[in-house]
Amino acid sequence: MIEVQNLIKRYGQVTAVAGVSFSVTRGEIVGLLGPNGAGKTTIMRILTGCMPPTSGTAAVGGCDLMDRATEAKRQIGYLPEFVPLYPDMTVPEYLNFLGELRGLRGKALRAARERVLEQCGLIEMRRRLVKNLSKGYQQRVGLAQALIHNPAVLILDEPTGGLDPRQAHEMRQLIAGLGGQHTLLLSTHLLHEATALCQRVVIMYKGCIAAVDEQERLAVRLRKSEKIQVRFRCPPPDIEWHLKAIPGVIGVYSASGWGSGRSSAGDERWIIECELGKDLSEEIARRTVRSDWGLCELTPLEMSLEEVFLNLTAEQTGAQS
Amino acid sequence: MRVLWIIARRELWSYLTSPVAYVVAAIFLAIVGFLFYGVAKLASERSMQLLQFQGILATFNVVQLVFRPIFQDMALVLVFVLPLLTMRLFAEERRQRTYDLLFSAPISVMAIVGGKFLAAVFIYTALLVLTMVLPAMLGQWTTFPLSTLMSAYFGLWLLGLVFIGVGLFASALTEYQIVAAFTGIGILILLWVTGLVAHDTEITTLSTVLKKMSVSIYFEEFVQGLINTTSIVFFLTFMLFWLTAAYRVVEANRWR
């Protein structure tokens, strides 16, 4: 549904996107992930026809954005990072205007407007001027305009940016509900958002694609060791030494130092790093029970998207330097 | 064509719901009314003087004594007023970041420029129609050739189209409305003084070139009741030139 081939975008001497290629199939939810300045917004603006690429091709629904821009744009709904609103309009006026621009009229326009008002939870806001809405509702209005012509492809640029946690959660629920009906490409630098919403992620770094895959497969691919988190009620002072003595253990770290737990007296968590492919859970359990350290928790740790992301970006930085 | 109207309607709505259009219209109408009063008063005093000193009532040449100066004055007022009317058309889209809404819609940049131009032309035409009250009032006391009046209005309307084109171009250049307004006014003053320089310069070739480019000289013909194709083509071509320039700037904005 979305096909990007060797896309390059330069702003003068600065290369914002450096030869990016990826594709999104019908009905898929794909996350474009990366830190600020990675080139996510540039790619999205090219894909929505707002900006031409320096070179390369981008096509939506089989229509090239350069050659058949109008046909391609008919299939796209776009919510930019900064929600573009006309503050002097009421919500229905704003939606009418954008519906008309996308070729809707008469009864079809009214029906589409009512549908998106309901879909985005804006029924109660219909008499309000757009400028008087809260940030959360303004974001919903932005999403409603992207949906009004029922596009096959939805491109959402940081859809939860600037929202408070509750509003962000509601917005995520709204977006999750759109999966299946539309092909979704959304950008975010919030990793938990990508984890919650996306089937596949495209990780970008400095204008290049660092990786494209499902999150779990990326985690497996990038994993260099196994990690187990343990917690003891009464560990000995030299616990670190005891754990390191287990064959196959590479390192032992305090979970508080690792950043995934809070240590306090009598409730200390440790991360045990083991050689790849070795499951030491049983051995650790046996030794701690035998020594009576009061084993309270033993959890094999999956690699989080954050770690995947950090690993990838570190690899990229290393490769570049 | 329909898209053009959709864009124009949205802009018209924006004009009618914001105070800018009303303030600009009020200032324009007040200045024109005041100038009209001054010019008409002066013309009637001159007639009275001729009657007193020569003992005859001179023919009150409304076209020469009233319409010619008033239309010249109105044109000059438009140099300052029309950029105020057009300053927000693109600058605001840029400031509000709503450009992306228009660029991502299945419409051409040409339609965006055309629609905004059309909206400004509607408002401007309405302003001109409102000023017609003044000659209508004068018509209660004296007679004048209606065709000359209509020719002058037609000329002023065409001149306004060029000014709106310049205003759109200036608005597309920046996200700050005030900068757009000053840029527009600056360009229009330059265009206007071209005619004055053409009269003053002693270099024949330069004078000819400047005269050919001067909006004020072509406009003068309309005020005198002369509608010729050259002048109409000049104004329309000049208008298209500025609209194309605005289109180019908006297109260039997409690359940034």
* Residue A299 bridge partners (DSSP): A229
Mean pLDDT, all residues of chain A: 83
Distance CA B223, CA B67 (A): 7
- For residue B217, give Cα distances in angstroms to A36, A66, B155, B203, B207: 56, 44, 11, 18, 12
Q: Where are the domains of chain B?
A: 2-18+75-254
Choose, out of B2, B15, B95, B100, the residue to mutate when testing the contact with A (most A CBs < 10 Å): B100
- For residue B139, give Cα distances in angstroms to B42, B44, B91, B133, B151: 17, 14, 42, 10, 17
* Residue A11 bridge partners (DSSP): A14
The per-residue pLDDT for range A173-224, each reduced to its tens digit, is 888 888 778 899 988 877 777 777 888 888 888 888 877 777 666 666 666 7
Choose, out of B10, B104, B175, the residue to mutate when testing the contact with A (most A CBs < 10 Å): B104
Domains of chain A and any CATH numbers: 2-220 (3.40.50.300), 225-302 (3.30.70)
The per-residue pLDDT for range A252-280, each reduced to its tens digit, is 887 765 544 444 445 678 888 888 777 78
The per-residue pLDDT for range A22-68, each reduced to its tens digit, is 888 888 888 888 878 888 899 999 999 888 899 999 998 888 888 88
- ipTM of model: 0.83
The residue ranges of DSSP E strands in chain A, in sequence order, are: 2-11, 14-24, 29-33, 55-60, 63-64, 76-79, 153-157, 183-188, 200-205, 208-213, 225-232, 249-254, 268-275, 295-301
pLDDT at B33: 92
Instruction: Decide: helix, strand or coil at residue A156.
Output: strand
Q: Which residues of B touch A11 (CB under 8 A)?
A: 256
The per-residue pLDDT for range A139-168, each reduced to its tens digit, is 889 989 999 999 999 999 988 877 788 878
Q: Say whether A50 and B103 touch across the interface (CB within 8 A).
A: yes
Q: Say whether A86 and B3 touch across the interface (CB within 8 A).
A: no
Distance CA A149, CA A144 (A): 10
Distance CA A117, CA A289 (A): 59
Tokens of A147: 């949906």
CA dihedral B164, B166, B170, B172 (to 10 degrees): 70
Q: Which residues of B touch A101 (CB under 8 A)?
A: 3, 6-7, 101-102, 105-107
Q: Which residues of A touch B105 (CB under 8 A)?
A: 73, 98, 101-102
Distance CA B184, CA B180 (A): 6
Write out residues 126-155 of A within 8 Å (CB-CB) of B. 145
Partner residue opposite B97 with nearest CB, options A78, A82, A103 = A82
The per-residue pLDDT for range A111-128, each reduced to its tens digit, is 999 999 988 888 888 889
Q: Say whether B99 and A103 touch across the interface (CB within 8 A).
A: no
Q: Say whether A97 and B102 touch across the interface (CB within 8 A).
A: no
Chains A and B form CB pairs within 8 A to the count of 69
* Residue A320 bridge partners (DSSP): none
CA distance B182 to chain A (A): 25
What is the widest separation between alpha-carbon atoms in chain B? 74
Q: Which residues of A touch B10 (CB under 8 A)?
A: 86, 97
Q: Per residue of chain B (256 residues), what is the pLDDT tens digit?
A: 788 999 999 999 999 988 888 999 999 999 999 998 888 888 878 777 777 776 665 556 777 778 888 898 999 999 999 999 999 999 999 998 898 899 999 999 999 999 999 999 999 999 999 999 888 888 887 777 888 889 999 999 999 999 999 999 999 999 999 999 999 999 999 888 877 776 666 667 777 777 777 788 888 888 888 888 988 999 999 999 999 999 999 998 877 6
Q: Which residues of B touch A102 (CB under 8 A)?
A: 105-106
pLDDT at A91: 93
